[in-house]
């Protein structure tokens, strides 16, 4: 990371002071032993890692590194934070922020959040990367309006009976172009994903190689959205809702499900020229609703699927094509 040389007279002018003031983050451990990180209204850039020793996470000890001109507690250097035994809470305000939480040296799920993980990226075009992380209770992510990208690899709710919590993963990216990718993850209870809001922009959700303990809801709102599910075990109900567009031209959605399992699948694609592919998946019941608009040109392709309850049709209001 490039840094200003504050010993040089050429770096002591107004530009240097602005660089220190405009992207300021403060962080501390409060009386409840939460790690609290708060950014300003500018483009903050941070990395947070859990310190390891002999390849094992050091309980309650984290290192935060400010990057690209961001300051942390008035300094450009990274800092250690100890005795974090409860939540990690990050709020970064407006503008386009970048936040990376990851295990040190790629240690497999070596970043452990003792209780809740709460992240609010604020407005702007944000990038959030959460990699090799284990959350004790709930993980809640808001990225606000703007073109956002969220990546999650980790577990939620598998560190024991923490705080009697719900053990849920919630992601809400607000309006405009949004991309959410979750892979190699496990959630003890529910998953709730909302992308796109009420706009007509294209949003995408990828869920790859996962186990979810109870129910899942994915809602992409208006726009021509893309949902890709591959090798995911839903132990409850999986509800995928990509409808919401005002006109068919603005709501041509695409959903693909491969080698996945659920007690019940519900797909609601709404109006528009939608496409659905379901391959080598199984469960008790699957229901697909492509909408009732008479001008739609919908298409579904399925092969190798098996559902034990034949009383509920897979296809409702859809042109049906078997492979």
pLDDT (0 to 100) of residue 173: 92
Residue 63 has pLDDT above 60, yes or no: yes
pLDDT (0 to 100) of residue 290: 74
Residue 55 has pLDDT above 80, yes or no: yes
d(CA 31, CA 33): 5
**19 confidence band (pLDDT: 50, 70, 90):** very low
Residue 101 has pLDDT above 90, yes or no: yes
pLDDT (0 to 100) of residue 295: 55
User: Tens of pLDDT along 206-254?
Assistant: 999 999 999 999 999 878 899 999 999 999 999 999 876 555 556 788 9
Radius of gyration of the chain (CA): 22
**86 Cβ partners below 8 Å, 6+ apart?**
32, 33, 34, 114, 115, 116
Q: Where are the domains of the chain?
A: 26-184, 190-323
Q: Which of 166, 200, 170 is nearest to 182 (CA)?
A: 170
- Tell me phi and psi for residue 51, to 5 degrees: -70, 140
User: Tens of pLDDT along 275-300?
Assistant: 999 999 999 999 888 765 555 677 88
d(CA 203, CA 249): 15
SS3 287: strand
* Residue 216 contacts residue 190 (beta carbons within 8 Å): yes
The pLDDT mean for the chain works out to: 85
Residue 2 has pLDDT above 60, yes or no: no
**9 confidence band (pLDDT: 50, 70, 90):** very low
How much is the average pLDDT of 79-99?
95
pLDDT (0 to 100) of residue 18: 41
User: Tens of pLDDT along 129-154?
Assistant: 999 999 999 999 999 888 899 999 99
String of DSSP letters for 81-122: E----S-EEEE--SS--EEEEEEGGG-TT-EEESS-EEEE--
pLDDT (0 to 100) of residue 134: 95
- Tell me phi and psi for residue 105, to 5 degrees: 60, 25
Percent of the chain whose predicted confidence (pLDDT) is above 90: 60
Using CB atoms within 10 Å of the CB of residue 8, give its burial: 0 to 12 exposed, 13 to 18 middle, 19+ buried. exposed
How much is the average pLDDT of 96-125?
90
Residue 48 has pLDDT above 80, yes or no: yes
* H or E element in which residue 19 lies: helix 14-21
Tell me the residue length of the chain: 323
User: Tens of pLDDT along 155-206?
Assistant: 999 887 776 778 999 999 987 789 999 999 999 999 999 997 667 788 999 9
How far is C-alpha 41 from the chain's CA centre? Answer: 22
pLDDT (0 to 100) of residue 299: 85
Residue 315 has pLDDT above 80, yes or no: no
Give the Å distances, CA to CA, from 87 to 18, 59, 62, 162.
Answer: 32, 13, 12, 11
CB atoms under 10 Å from CB of 18, counted, come to 11
* Residue 300 contacts residue 278 (beta carbons within 8 Å): yes
């Amino acid at each position: 990371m490039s840094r200003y040389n504050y010993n040089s007279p050429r770096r002591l002018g107004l530009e240097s002071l602005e660089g220190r003031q405009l992207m300021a983050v403060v962080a501390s451990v409060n009386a409840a032993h939460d790690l609290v990180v708060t950014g300003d209204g500018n483009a903050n850039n941070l990395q947070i890692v859990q310190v390891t020793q002999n390849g094992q996470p050091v309980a309650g000890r984290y290192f935060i590194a400010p990057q690209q001109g961001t300051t942390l507690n008035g300094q450009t250097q990274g800092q250690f934070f100890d005795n974090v035994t409860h939540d990690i809470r990050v709020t970064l305000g407006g503008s386009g922020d970048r936040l990376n939480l990851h295990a040190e040296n790629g240690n497999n799920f070596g970043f452990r959040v003792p209780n809740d993980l709460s992240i609010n990226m604020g407005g702007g075009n944000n990038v959030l990367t959460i990699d090799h992380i284990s959350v004790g209770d709930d993980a809640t992510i808001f990225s606000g309006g703007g073109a956002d990208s969220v990546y999650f690899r980790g577990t939620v709710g598998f560190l024991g009976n923490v705080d009697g919590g719900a053990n849920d993963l919630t992601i809400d990216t607000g309006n405009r172009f949004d991309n959410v990718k979750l892979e190699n993850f496990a959630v003890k209870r529910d998953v709730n994903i909302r992308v796109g809001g009420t706009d007509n922009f294209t949003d995408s959700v990828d869920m790859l190689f996962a186990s979810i303990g109870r129910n899942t809801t994915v809602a992409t709102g208006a726009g021509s959205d893309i949902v890709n599910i591959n090798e995911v075990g839903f132990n409850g109900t999986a509800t995928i809702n990509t409808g919401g567009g005002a006109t068919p031209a603005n709501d041509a959605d695409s959903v693909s499900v491969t080698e996945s399992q659920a007690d019940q699948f519900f797909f609601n694609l709404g109006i528009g020229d939608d496409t659905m592919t379901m391959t080598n998946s199984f469960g008790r019941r699957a229901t697909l609703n492509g909408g009732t608009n008479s001008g739609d040109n919908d298409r579904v392709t399925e092969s190798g699927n098996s559902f034990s309850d034949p009383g509920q049709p897979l296809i409702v209001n859809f042109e049906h094509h078997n492979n």
